[in-house]
Amino acid sequence: MSSKSNRFIENVVSGLHLDPVQSTEIVDELQAHIEDRAQDLVDGGLSVDQALRQAAIELGESDLIAKGFYEVHSRRSWRHAFSGALPHILLALMFALHVWTEPVIVAVMLGTALVISVLGWRAGRPTWTFPWLGYCILIPLISWGLAMSAVGYGAWGVLTRGSLPLDIPIYIVSLAYIALSMWVVIKVVSRVARNDWLMASLTVLPIPFLAYWFLYFYNQKELFDQSANRIGLTLQEIDSTAAIIFLIMAAATIVFFRVGRRTVRLALLAITTPSMVVLAWLVYKSGIGALAVFAFAITSIAVLMSPALFDRTPKQILRTTLEKFQTRRNHE
């Protein structure tokens, strides 16, 4: 291989957002194509170095080649897409049937998500398991929020009364748990984002809406001061909206897996997330102002794009792929 053709392959690999196994297969494919074309050119009278350079040039721009490979290799089957959308569909059914308040059903749902996520993690992390993993992330996030409430309550007590309302060990445990839960979430998200940060964004897709949903109930204490019939009617309206929103998530997940273009995937997630928050606000009529909802929608987009911070650099992608490629060649 000439330095020209080597640089071309390196540029293509650096632009890929695929797992190392797929990237290694692409390197094999590119090398085989360049070598076959170079042999034809050598037979036509060119030197080996000239033939290799010409074969690389004929393939076109490396960026376009990388995008093409991403579209082909990242597009998933209907079965794969439906498997990824299934947790959202199950959540939609839970709200549509008004059974989300049943602890046993919620525990079964979380247990199922945890089992699928663990098995998927050990089996090479197939991308359809990432939406299931997103609901597992909610467990440390919710408990993190409760621990933060305890710490905030203590800080407020010091500012207003000059003393802590709870015992000091409680705050020590709360702070330790906050650090541990955040480490777990960051560790999981960074591992998912290692190959393609958009997959990590798909993983955290439900979090902005569920955060808004929890805040709604937190700020609606008067809801439970009404009569039982009125509470039931209000919850039915809330449940119907939540079911629709989870179906929107399911549809977005299916489209995400079926569409190979990276820009379309990014636009899909960026549009879906704030739209769900605005829809919930319009239906719930929680009294939050439009400016606050706009700020929450912008924050939800920021949360969705935050996995990009864990994306690998082109050099890291190239190094990992070449190491995998060399290991594979040594075993052949």
- Minimum mean pLDDT range among 18-22, 25-29, 252-256, 283-287: 283-287
- Minimum mean pLDDT range among 56-65, 135-144, 171-180, 276-285: 171-180
Q: Please, is 273 exposed, middle or buried when counting C-beta atoms within 10 Å of its C-beta (0-12, 13-18, 19+)?
A: buried
Confidence of residue 32 (pLDDT cuts 50, 70, 90): confident
CA dist 235 to 99, 193, 220, Å?
A: 11, 36, 12
The pTM assigned to this predicted structure is: 0.81
Distance CA 323, CA 315 (A): 12
What's the pLDDT score for residue 16? 79
CA dist 123 to 25, 184, 293, 325, Å?
A: 19, 20, 40, 21
The tokens describing 90, both together, are 């199950």
Contact 111, 105 (CB under 8 A): no
Q: Which of left, alpha, beta for 18 (phi over 0: left; psi -120 to 50: alpha)?
A: beta
pLDDT tens, position by position, 168-220:
666 676 677 777 778 888 888 888 888 889 999 999 999 888 888 877 766 66
For residue 227, pLDDT over 70 is answered with: no
For residue 10, pLDDT over 70 is answered with: yes
The tokens describing 274, both together, are 């704030």
User: How far, rounded to the nearest angstrom, does the alpha carbon of residue 39 sit from its chain's CA centroid?
Assistant: 44
Mean pLDDT confidence for 61-86: 90
pLDDT tens, position by position, 144-172:
666 566 556 555 555 566 555 556 666 67
What's the pLDDT score for residue 160? 63
What's the pLDDT score for residue 229? 46
What's the pLDDT score for residue 228? 42
Ordered by start, the domain boundaries in the chain are 3-71, 77-314
CA atoms within 13 A on the CB side of 47: 3
